[in-house]
Chains A and B, each alone.
Chain A
């Protein structure tokens, strides 16, 4: 799965996710990626989020929308909200990660696997990429 979230110079956010799904998936199985609110969600009033991981649990946790709700109503920052939802997904037996960004430019990731391909670029700064959880 791949994804991107952004906030532009006007303060608008957007999210996108794309995936081949699960290796050896059967019966037309679909995970969280194409389900708005589960694997992908964007709302200028909160943040934009893209998810990757155990799709079934991200769907049941309505992960991307939950992060937006925690920002909007729980007054958490996007990355703290992401950490909270990843902790909940872990408690539900799920593995994976999210990327998120808010209209004010705060953004980053949270994940509970040994690695996640990830990167961030801000205007006027050098790009930063990482893979392992200790980077």
Chain B
């Protein structure tokens, strides 16, 4: 069997044993395992490191336990504005997007930017337009709008508006 390694993260913060609700603990671990499985399958099939990191991140973007994709936190104005980047160590080709609102998997949009090769970082409405032109899966903005994240926004705004304790990503 050929050698490969995959490492993932789902965000760092104030999670403490016994304080993080058990359901969140179990859900987070299950999400991590699903992401490792997806990325590992790509590598096992002889796929590139690039394929593997995209596959793993896509799984976590679809998982509401993590602050990315469908699970993203809210901005002050009550929107979900998503950022992502990807980089290939072979050529140091890179792609990144910021403040997109309608692409289901932002990491795949970042990869499209990298593969297009003309730019490295696209943002906002222009990045949303690029995503549509490249035929990526589109969703309505409220696909990302989860009640728990809205509650967190309300809590943070009530407390002065800045999550200095990194309580919510």
Contact = CB atoms under 8 A, between A and B. Distances in A.
A91 interface: no
A82 to B, nearest CB: 11
A87 interface: no
B37 A5 contact: no
Contacts of A63: none
A8 B85 contact: no
Q: Which of B28, B73, B89, B163 has the most CB of A within 10 A?
A: B89
Given A6-B43, A14-B49, A31-B83, A113 B7 contact: no
Contacts of A101: 5-7
Contact of B89 (A3, A48, A122): A48
Contact of B162 (A13, A24, A123): A24
Contacts of B10: 2, 116-118
B86 A2 contact: no
Contact of A122 (B5, B50, B54, B80): B5
A114 B96 contact: no
Interface in A115-133: 115-124, 127, 129, 131-132
A100 B7 CA distance: 7
Contacts of B71: 20
Contacts of B3: 9, 105, 122-123
Interface in B1-50: 1-17, 20, 25, 28-29, 31-33, 35-37, 39-40, 43-44, 46-50
Interface residues of B, number: 91
Given A16-B53, A36-B87, A6 B82 contact: no
B43 to A, nearest CB: 6
Interface of A is mostly: strand
A7 interface: yes
A8 B48 contact: yes
B136 interface: no
B69 A18 contact: yes
Contacts of B99: 28, 30
B88 to A, nearest CB: 5
A97 interface: yes
Give the 9 A-B CB pairs with smallest separation, nearest first.
Answer: A20-B72, A117-B10, A115-B15, A9-B2, A13-B89, A42-B89, A116-B12, A97-B12, A14-B49
21 contacts: A2-B8, A3-B8, A9-B3, A18-B57, A20-B72, A20-B81, A20-B149, A21-B72, A24-B74, A24-B162, A28-B124, A33-B84, A42-B87, A48-B87, A48-B89, A100-B7, A114-B16, A115-B15, A117-B31, A121-B6, A123-B5
